[in-house]
Structure 1
Amino acid sequence: MAEINDRKLYLGPKLRVLRRELGLNQTRMAEGLGVSPSYLNHLERNQRPLTAQMLLRLANTYDIDIRDFTATPAEGGPGELGEILSDALVRDIGIARDEVLEVAENYPGVSEAIARFYRALTDLRRLPGDAAAADRAPAPLVAPLDWLRETIARSGNHFAEIDAGAESLASELPDDPALLQTALRARLKDRHGMAVQLVRAEILAGTLRHYDMHRRRLMLSERLAASGRLFAIAYQLCAQELAEAIAAQIARAAPPDEDSRRLAQIALTNYAAAALIMPYDRFRQAAEQSRYDLPLLRDRFGVSAEQIAHRLTSLNRTGARGIPFFMAKIDRAGIVAKRFDGEAWPFARYGGICPRWDATDAPADGSIAAQLIETLEGRRFVTLAVALPRGRARGRSMVALGCEAKHAGRIVHADGLDVERGEATGVGPTCPLCERRDCPDRALPPVTRALDLHSYERTAAPFPFRRV
């Protein structure tokens, strides 16, 4: 609370959104908080700062988490809005940064609406040929994957009801991963009449797991590692025993189409399986006690590095939070195949990653590569990258976790980094949006600046550009 007392907080738009979500008018909320309606109106219009005492009243009256309420929004914030408004379609308008900041901070609903329109526009641009072809079904307004990512981001990648159900189920099962797999098989057989069978790879013809509904048999490929087999069995059990909690969460999310609903079903069942194998309290305590030792956690819970990374991004339970990690799965070309933004994703949301981020250079032996990076705004982050095992059917890929440098003392892999005074690698959002002038690794010029080229000189950094 000392940090909150040291600065003025103008959170009017967030307060207004909270009131509307609660279905209250200003008079009723003012009564609940013990203030006058005119004072609440001043707070919502950012004419008065939100005091620490008022934050405590909000937390106690409406059961909100102060850190969530005061955190910078992950979606529709200044970075994302600035990225959208740098698109070639509107770039010539030259919208000033202070205007972008004002809209993003004071009108978050407008920012989110613009972001949704832009995602729809991006999807339309991907369509080959004539989008109005008679033999093509109308495209959804929001691509299912984008809808799912937005839904997960709004929830902070934490689904309390599913987590609680999985934790309750895990309390009836052994902790040891080898014993857990046996117990899961037995529970599927005894309670649901489902058998688990390991089969040769050629039988499944490129599929890693398949559920035969007629014979009630879960078939697992011999190519699946032990962690993959454990996860597949947990997935099947959660699909049976946590079906109500998963369905309730999907209903609240209100998928816009059938593809989005199916994606949500798979994603939330995956979430439930991870929560069953790595129950919230036991996993969070192990993470804190080991100082987020990734290999140790991987071995203790019998999971893969990617599964560990996923679970670490979901430790967002009120009153028992872990480090707010962001995560990305990246191929060798730097293309992001999967992303969870956490509280502070420092890169662009609609492009690739910065080539100066060394996540793609993680050692092939599976060891953890730690890096200290710094954004153009001077914010520092610790990132941890690990190479994933290379399968026969896929190329090399990496998974990377990251968080603000202030959390470094809680992470054993960051012990060699001087996060306060040490040299950090300067990174940007993505080359077309980055205005770092001296970057030798720039692949493209910034779309926000005019080039400054001369035949009589060649600068060390490619694509020199004007400052204004």
Structure 2
Amino acid sequence: MSKVFMGVRLQRLREERKLTQAALAKMLDISPSYLNQIERNQRPLTVSILLRVGAVLGVDPQIFSEHDSAGLVADLRDAFSELPDADTSLAELKTLVENMPGVARAVVQLQSRYRMAAERAAALESQFDDGNRGISVAPPSIDEEVRDYLNQRQNYIDELDQAAELIVDASAAALQQRLAERHGVTVLASHQSGPSLERRRYDAVQKLLWLPDTISESQRAFQMAAQLGLLELPGVIESLVQAASFSSDATRDGARLALSNYFAGAVRLPYRRFLQAAEACAYDIELLAGQFGVGFEAVCHRLSTMQRPGFAGLPVFFVRVDRAGNISKRQSAAAFHFSRAGGTCPLWVVYEAFSLPGQVLRQVARMPDGSTHLWIARQVSSGPAGFMAPGKSFAIALGCDISQAHRMVYAKGLDLANPDVATPIGNGCKVCERNDCPQRAFPSILRQKAAISRLT
């Protein structure tokens, strides 16, 4: 275990509980001078002290984990890269994140709001310049805020996961019966077609749940389980939403939907049984999909949530992209991050999946900071719900750190120890420092800033 220097986090916890250094030192059975040195980052937090802090202050010792650091450091680099005169080193950003994550997140949030305001101003300017033909201005991103909340919790919500495991029969018929018997809800089929297809519609007054007649049995079960979550755990979901301090009512609504969908995934793929099956087949996604009667994407999504304390699965990253490169899902149970500002990398195997539908592709990829990962990718599609209705096609990518890759069946036959096997990829051209990339589309903002600094 690496040494943990996060004294400011400990100091903040102490001050929130209105404890003096002497009082907390006595509770931890250490000297006040020792605690003072820890809070000033002159001594590391040892494992034994971390455990005592958790017990004494009633907090999860994982709040001192560096899990979220990589993503937050990358977000800060993005934020400062857009300031022409900002002079910050990677070491300074890491120190800020490790000691004052709240301040770091506030900086990222401020930069995000500034960028959104700048984009709105540019859109309004264009509206006047082109004869007032009308340009729609995109609303703030709800998904990003909800996604950040889930990633901060390592995509694991214990309150919902434990409750979901109590539902023994997760078949569509059993869930429909549970809705009827416990909540008086009748499930009806609705005929929908076209791009405006809704997954479910609930009438709380008449207690009617409408599900499209075009979705599969597995999708029906998922939607019923999600509605069950809202009906059986409203207090739990609401307390989670309120504790997260989201910025708007729309984001809170999005969080409720995300949490109900999380519950549905946990019902369909119960934690212990699913994790044991995953370990037994070396995380063979297609085998797991067949065993549990769900799709490829559902298995990948669930694998990114298997981080129960004391009984964790393989820490993975899960991404879903479309052909245009838009990332519609991004969850990480490990320290991996793709830039928000720089886009994604065309050398990443996820884009190759569109050319080879139905095949599981593999890639050992190395980031500019030297971190290396094993990625797998496959295209998934859903057919049209009516004549001439457009279908949907995505590429699903699942990855893990190279040190954990041997646990996956997809590592068979790969020389994981050979650095020449890895494909160099990046966070996206605008924030990637590689100068020898054959696929570079834009000059690097970071390299431009470095060049300007040398000239001045």
- Separation (CA, whole Å) in 2 of partners of 1:76 and 1:431: 17
> 1:317/1:377 Cα in 2 relative to 1: closer, same or farther (>3 Å)?
same
- Equivalent position amino acid for 1:78 in 2: V
The answer on 1:344 being equivalent to 2:341 is no
Equivalent residue number for residue 371 of structure 1: 363
Deviation, structure 1 residue 303: 1.8
> 1:186/1:421 Cα in 2 relative to 1: closer, same or farther (>3 Å)?
same
Higher normalized contact order (CA 8 Å, seq sep 6+, divided by chain length): 2
- Equivalent position amino acid for 2:46 in 1: T
Aligned residue-pair number: 436
Q: Secondary structure at the match of 2:403?
A: helix
The answer on 1:77 being equivalent to 2:72 is yes
Decide which moves more: 112-121 or 203-212.
Answer: 203-212
- Equivalent position amino acid for 2:11 in 1: R
> 1:158/1:210 Cα in 2 relative to 1: closer, same or farther (>3 Å)?
same
The answer on 1:162 being equivalent to 2:154 is no
- Separation (CA, whole Å) in 2 of partners of 1:202 and 1:434: 42
The answer on 1:264 being equivalent to 2:262 is no
CA RMSD of aligned residues (A): 3.1
Residues 36-68 of structure 1: CA deviation (Å, up to 9, x unaligned): 222112111111223344334335545666666
- Separation (CA, whole Å) in 1 of partners of 2:65 and 2:241: 27
- Separation (CA, whole Å) in 1 of partners of 2:366 and 2:218: 35
Equivalent residue number for residue 320 of structure 2: 329
Identity of aligned residues (%): 34
Decide which moves more: 381-390 or 427-436.
Answer: 381-390
Deviation, structure 1 residue 395: 4.0
- Separation (CA, whole Å) in 2 of partners of 1:167 and 1:339: 25
In structure 2, the gaps of 5 or more residues are 126-136, 385-389
Residues 415-467 of structure 1: CA deviation (Å, up to 9, x unaligned): 23222215101111111111112111111111122499xxxxxxxxxxxx899
Aligned equivalent of 2:188, options 186, 189, 197: 197
Is the CA contact (8 Å cut-off) linking 2:66 and 2:98 kept in structure 1? no
Q: TM-score, normalised by structure 2?
A: 0.86
- Separation (CA, whole Å) in 2 of partners of 1:331 and 1:386: 12
Equivalent residue number for residue 309 of structure 1: 300
Equivalent residue number for residue 232 of structure 2: 241
- Separation (CA, whole Å) in 1 of partners of 2:207 and 2:104: 48
- Equivalent position amino acid for 2:111 in 1: Y
> 1:427/1:140 Cα in 2 relative to 1: closer, same or farther (>3 Å)?
closer
Is the CA contact (8 Å cut-off) linking 1:13 and 1:106 kept in structure 2? yes
Equivalent residue number for residue 440 of structure 1: 438
Equivalent residue number for residue 221 of structure 2: 230
- Separation (CA, whole Å) in 2 of partners of 1:124 and 1:205: 30
Equivalent residue number for residue 131 of structure 2: none
> 1:26/1:112 Cα in 2 relative to 1: closer, same or farther (>3 Å)?
farther
- Separation (CA, whole Å) in 1 of partners of 2:17 and 2:303: 30
Is the CA contact (8 Å cut-off) linking 2:69 and 2:98 kept in structure 1? no
- Separation (CA, whole Å) in 1 of partners of 2:417 and 2:73: 26
5 Å-filtered alignment, 1:443-458, equals 443-450=441-448
> 1:50/1:210 Cα in 2 relative to 1: closer, same or farther (>3 Å)?
closer
Equivalent residue number for residue 462 of structure 1: none
Decide which moves more: 440-449 or 357-366.
Answer: 357-366
Decide which moves more: 285-294 or 63-72.
Answer: 63-72
- Separation (CA, whole Å) in 2 of partners of 1:110 and 1:211: 40
Aligned equivalent of 1:380, options 362, 372, 377: 372
Residues 72-91 of structure 1: CA deviation (Å, up to 9, x unaligned): 4347733221221111xx12
Q: Secondary structure at the match of 2:33?
A: helix
Aligned equivalent of 1:42, options 33, 37, 53: 37
- Equivalent position amino acid for 2:226 in 1: Y
Deviation, structure 1 residue 319: 0.5
> 1:20/1:224 Cα in 2 relative to 1: closer, same or farther (>3 Å)?
farther
Equivalent residue number for residue 357 of structure 1: 348
The answer on 1:58 being equivalent to 2:58 is no
5 Å-filtered alignment, 1:49-198, equals 49-59=44-54, 61-62=56-57, 69-74=64-69, 77-87=72-82, 90-127=83-120, 128-129=123-124, 143-168=141-166, 170-171=167-168, 173=169, 180-198=171-189
- Separation (CA, whole Å) in 1 of partners of 2:139 and 2:213: 40
Is the CA contact (8 Å cut-off) linking 1:326 and 1:402 kept in structure 2? yes
Equivalent residue number for residue 430 of structure 1: 428
Deviation, structure 1 residue 323: 1.5
> 1:449/1:120 Cα in 2 relative to 1: closer, same or farther (>3 Å)?
same
Q: Secondary structure at the match of 1:396?
A: strand
Is the CA contact (8 Å cut-off) linking 1:381 and 1:404 kept in structure 2? yes
Is the CA contact (8 Å cut-off) linking 1:231 and 1:274 kept in structure 2? yes
- Separation (CA, whole Å) in 2 of partners of 1:20 and 1:417: 51
In structure 1, the gaps of 5 or more residues are 131-138, 175-179, 453-464
- Separation (CA, whole Å) in 1 of partners of 2:119 and 2:280: 46
- Separation (CA, whole Å) in 2 of partners of 1:296 and 1:224: 22
The answer on 1:399 being equivalent to 2:392 is no
- Separation (CA, whole Å) in 1 of partners of 2:319 and 2:272: 24
- Separation (CA, whole Å) in 2 of partners of 1:165 and 1:290: 26
Deviation, structure 1 residue 188: 1.4
Deviation, structure 1 residue 231: 0.7
Is the CA contact (8 Å cut-off) linking 2:363 and 2:374 kept in structure 1? yes
Residues 278-311 of structure 1: CA deviation (Å, up to 9, x unaligned): 1111111111222111112112222222222221
> 1:159/1:28 Cα in 2 relative to 1: closer, same or farther (>3 Å)?
farther
Is the CA contact (8 Å cut-off) linking 2:361 and 2:376 kept in structure 1? yes
Q: Secondary structure at the match of 1:362?
A: helix
Residues 82-117 of structure 1: CA deviation (Å, up to 9, x unaligned): 221111xx1234434444344334433332221111
